[in-house]
Amino acid sequence: MNIEPAEKISGIAEIPGDKSITHRAVMFNAAAEGKAKITRALVGEDCLSTVSCMKALGAKIEREGETITVEGSPEFKNNALCDCGNSGTTMRLLCGLIAGKGVRATLTGDASLSTRPMRRVAEPLALLGANVRTTDGTAPLIVEPAPLHGCIVETGVASAQVKSAILLAGLGASGETIVREPEKSRDHSERLLSAMGADIFVHQNAVRIRKSRLHCVDVDVPADISSAAYFLALGALKGEIVCPRVGVNPTRTGILTAFDRLGVIYTLQNERLVCGEPVADIVVKKSAMRAITLSKEIMPALIDEIPVIALLCAFAEGESVISGAQELKVKESDRIATTAEMIAALGGDIRATDDGFVIRGKSKLQGGKVRSYGDHRIAMTAAIGLAASENGGAIEGAECVNISFPDFYRRLAGLGN
């Protein structure tokens, strides 16, 4: 994919539905009693993997455009084969959900997903009595029926995927299950489970859940702030961008905290609640940015946005330091290595560390040829960097954006003036 440099950027960037909320809306409704309609859903490859898996487990699901209709199956089919594709969210959450249903299932994934760590879910689930077998710590996974009992689980890392898997298992466990995190991770699961009738209580970084049956609820999915981040960054570099209906859940708005520190000019307009999730229109204008420091405590709220934040730092005045981001190493690629390589290929001054980056900002980047390594967030960050560069360039493996934002390049091209 060739990306031309943009003289000026302005306009409205329509962002697809939130990936995390779409996964959960499909999965939780498919395991519940009744029927639900999910509107403005993300229909990228990862979320379609969740649709496929829930069908394999017995749910009836139909899709028309961005609307997904789900008829739940509270009792899962036994011996299902669930192909999770490239979706770590699908695989990790399903481990807990299937364990709580007391059936046998096999979870597989593509070559990339099959290298990602799965003991981080299997081991805490074992504390509840779950029998989840990994293949040398990775997929394929086999979940065997086992009686579950509630317990207290202290997670070493703030991870919404791990927390959600434990909570979903807790739906089928006797007694009370409590998950405690070192920092609060995104809370989409807690919000939706509560709306669906789960016996769940949240206090600071701890969540308590008891055995519950879920009831289907309709969900109107907000726009994904992680996908909006690319266009918001482009607005800060090249013009003025409006992203409507963006989810601004406080566990997801670390990007706005980073904007505050960078000196990005932005406003939240038309703030409201949609299906229990806070939503706003975000407007960003071209900004003179300064160097920042980001460390471990903020990472749960912006881990997916770190590559594009690092790109903004490459244009900011001074030396920026990002640390505490070890989690980047176990994403679709090692995002510490691939982000550093990508920004260096654009002409930026960046040094990778064990847990982040040191970035010396420049007023301009030249552009060049970038490899995506099959990682959608690296490809989209590279596209923004190339559009903001002097000469533009090309992205090798650009099609991987279909995982989360199938229409990304067309929408990007529509903003140039």
Find the length of the chain: 417
Options 18, 304, 375, 407, the catalytic residue: 304
Q: Which stretch of DSSP H or E encloses residue 233?
A: helix 225-238
Q: Is the model's pTM score more than 0.85?
A: yes
Q: pLDDT value at position 416?
A: 67
Residue 20 assigned ligand-binding role:
yes
Report the b/e string of 204-230 with b at 16+ CB within 10 A: ebebbbbbbebbbbebbbbbbbbbbbb
Regions in the chain scoring below 50 on pLDDT: none
Half-sphere exposure of 201 (CA within 13 A, CB side): 6
Would you state the structure tokens that stand for residue 21, as one six-digit string?
């909320």
Q: What confidence tens digit (pLDDT) does each residue in 99-158 have?
A: 999 999 999 999 999 999 999 999 999 999 999 999 999 999 999 999 999 999 999 888
Residue 377 assigned ligand-binding role:
yes
Query: Distance from first CA to last CA of the chain, Å, rounded?
Result: 20
Domains in the chain, please, with CATH? 2-16+223-413 (3.65.10.10), 19-219 (3.65.10.10)
CB 358 within 8 A of CB 344: no
CB 401 within 8 A of CB 11: no
CB 243 within 8 A of CB 61: no
Q: pLDDT value at position 46?
A: 94
Residue 92 assigned ligand-binding role:
no
Residue 272 assigned ligand-binding role:
no
Residue 397 assigned ligand-binding role:
no
Distances (CA, A) of 290 to 260, 327, 374: 10, 25, 31
| Catalytic residue check, 334 | no
CB 404 within 8 A of CB 224: yes
Compute the distance between CA of residue 350 and CA of residue 360 in angstroms, rounded to an integer.
6
Q: What is the 3-state secondary structure (H, E, C) of 121-162?
A: HHHHHHCCCCEEEEECCEEEEEEECCCCECCEEECCCCCHHH
Q: pLDDT value at position 362?
A: 96
Q: What confidence tens digit (pLDDT) does each residue in 18-33 have?
A: 999 999 999 999 999 9
